[in-house]
Chain A
Amino acid sequence: MLRLHLKTIPAGLAASLLCAVMAQAQSATPAPENGTLEVEQVFAGTCGFCHSDGGRAAGKGPQLMNSPRDDDFIRDRIKHGKPGAMPAFDGAFTDAQIDQIIKYIRALKPREG
């Protein structure tokens, strides 16, 4: 259905519709109704499967704490993924939510103790 929308309506409208649909659909997922993410939960639910220890260590995917990659690179990778390595999340997270995820990554510190 989403794909159909994107094909038949202007891109800008499609993007806002997509966001609206996602925000609605995610009411039962880690995104509360105001559209902000509980990023720690998102990591524990999804990202942490590959980015070990909540992004602090390399696992199936690279370590994210102290990543040398810039925000644009990380944003692009979250949205479009990497074939055979990382899924594309552009249908799952809005741009604002991706910004929140980047913020979380930048704030990552080693665990205490």
Chain B
Amino acid sequence: MRKQWLNSGLPVLAVAAFAASAALAQTVDTARIEGAGQNDWLTYHGSYKSHHYSPLAQINANNVGNLGVAWMHVPGRSTRGLQSMPLAADGVLYYSGSYSRVFALNGATGEVIWSFFPELDEALISRQTHSPYNRGVALGEGKVFVGTMDGRLFGLDAKTGKVLWETRLIDSQKLTVGFTGAPLYAKGSVIIGSQGGEWPGRGPIFAVDATTGKKKWEFLTVAGTDEAMKTWANDSWRTGGGGGWMPGTYDSETNTILWGTANPAPLYDWSGPDYKTQGARPGDNLYTSSVIALDIDTGKLKSYHQELPHDAWDFDSAVGEFVMLERDGQKYVVHPNKGGFVFVYDRNLGVKNVWRLVENINFVKDIDPKTGALIGRRDFPVGKVTEPPLCPFIGGGISWNSGSYSPKTGLYYKIGQEWCMTLDIQKTTPVTAPQVQLNIGADFKMAPPPGGEIYGHLDARDPITGAKKWEVRYPEPPLGSVLSTAGNLVFVPDSRGVLHAYDAETGAELWKHNNGTGHQGGIVSYSVGGKQYIAVTAGFGGMLADEYAPNFGGVYKSMPRDDGALVVFSLK
């Protein structure tokens, strides 16, 4: 490998610096991810604390004006854009693109160290709706782990990209669902959740032995216990849904995996207020639209909170952030819900507070901040929902990408989305066989909030109380993740393609750069040879992004939905 770098004409100094950092490379293990060393980004959420925060401060509020592109990488075949969160360990950047293509790049120069293009079942993928994007990889024990749309999990040698093991976890031919989310590595296991939501499956979450690839356990998010089975009357668990398509996190103190689950199917039920006994899936539909705590060794359910009992709006809990923090001796876990509320839990998922990130919410009147109980639900019978439209839109008040918590400012930086939708709810025949993709249960259309405009906003909030310090507005909701750093900076990659840097204390814009296409993926910071880098994925398209051209026009009309690049910045 070194020989290859030398032949490529790299400056000798860069090679020497990289060789030095590689020599210091240690295996990525649970303790190291927990420690979240400042030069690396070892897991999807930055560390198990899910802060999406970098303690690096070389790039800071005083010099960010000198930030420029250091290098770029074009993965090719970026169908539905680039949606992944890059990772960095010991000077090497790892990331994935559509079709689960994985790249290991020299973090200082972008030179390709290895690449892995899995051979996929293309005929199956052509039948899938939520495909073929991939949202990231996991690192652990000298391996890189990645899931595929055709239901497999791979363990690759982190040094060479060679396949060490491959495990089929889902019969995707039958179910037509697979894996788009990043896995999570912890304590010798690789955890990955399947797609679910709209499909007549039971939304499994798997643990696989990181060394051998052997399946350790499987938890079914649809009727996965006897208690849960009772919450799906008329055998409606067969219509399924659930799943856990974004990575959650690991709590080493309690030996627990925390994971968010997706919605039940059909998305929109025609039950009306009698949803406990009537409609497509009578009952609460456990464990959909819930946060769950599983024993990492056994997969047994330890505790849960169903954020939306009988979710009739597709405002599920699949957002993967579980922001862990301490205040006044209390340990908290903060979890945003797609409906636009942010739930604050203790470490056993007991509700401590619920606050609103989003202004336009009317699927409930409120959520009790003491108990998490829904107040004033809107459960629709068959027919039109127009006055008022349902808020938020199906894209959510909060989307699946991550916010960022800065321990330095004590603020949580999170994107909110203000939009609504009209609906025509249909009485549907139960879909229990996976023949036709999706099970929506209504016709719908994006609509502006009553008396207002569609917009998005970055909020700087107290993560526990929700108190707002400042807000920045955007004409269309940004869809990418947010990064805060110890350099007193917050980075927001927006939908039009502009990467913004704000003062973390005031929200004042300090720098911006147009990456040439919309963002809807991850952003991280890492350091190689004493130099700090910011890496962001650019590339638009997919389930939410595809709504932008018809609804907003402008730059979205010509924005590609099959293109993308990883863009890496450093100080000039």
Contact = CB atoms under 8 A, between A and B. Distances in A.
Interface of A: 1, 3, 22, 25-30, 38, 40-46, 48-50, 52-54, 57-61, 80-81, 83-85, 87-89, 91-93, 111
B143 interface: no
A58 B51 CA distance: 38
B442 A44 contact: yes
A50 to B, nearest CB: 7
B561 A45 contact: no
In the A-B complex, list the 10 residue pairs whose CB atoms are closest, starting with the nearest.
Answer: A58-B550, A84-B79, A60-B546, A44-B426, A54-B443, A52-B445, A53-B445, A48-B443, A46-B438, A28-B432
Contact of A44 (B123, B128, B132, B428): B428
Contact of B129 (A27, A80, A87): A87
B126 A28 contact: no
Given A26-B436, A84-B541, 18 more contacts: A25-B433, A28-B431, A41-B426, A43-B443, A44-B440, A44-B443, A45-B426, A45-B436, A48-B443, A52-B443, A53-B424, A53-B445, A54-B424, A59-B547, A83-B126, A84-B98, A87-B437, A88-B127
Given A53-B424, A59-B550, A45 B443 contact: no
B431 A87 contact: no
B507 interface: no
A28 B430 contact: yes
B441 A44 contact: yes
Chain B interface size, under 10 / 10 to 19 / 20 to 34 / 35 or more: 35 or more
B523 to A, nearest CB: 23
A75 B440 CA distance: 22
B562 A84 contact: yes
A81 to B, nearest CB: 6
Contact of B429 (A38, A58, A87, A89): A38
Contact of B431 (A45, A54, A60, A88): A45
Contacts of A54: 424, 443
A27 B129 CA distance: 22
B189 interface: no
Given A87-B126, A87-B129, A92-B435, A30 B442 contact: no
Interface in B519-572: 541, 543, 546-547, 550, 561-562
B436 A42 contact: yes
19 contacts: A25-B435, A28-B431, A38-B429, A41-B428, A42-B436, A44-B424, A45-B431, A45-B440, A48-B442, A53-B444, A54-B424, A54-B443, A57-B550, A59-B446, A84-B79, A89-B127, A91-B127, A92-B436, A111-B424
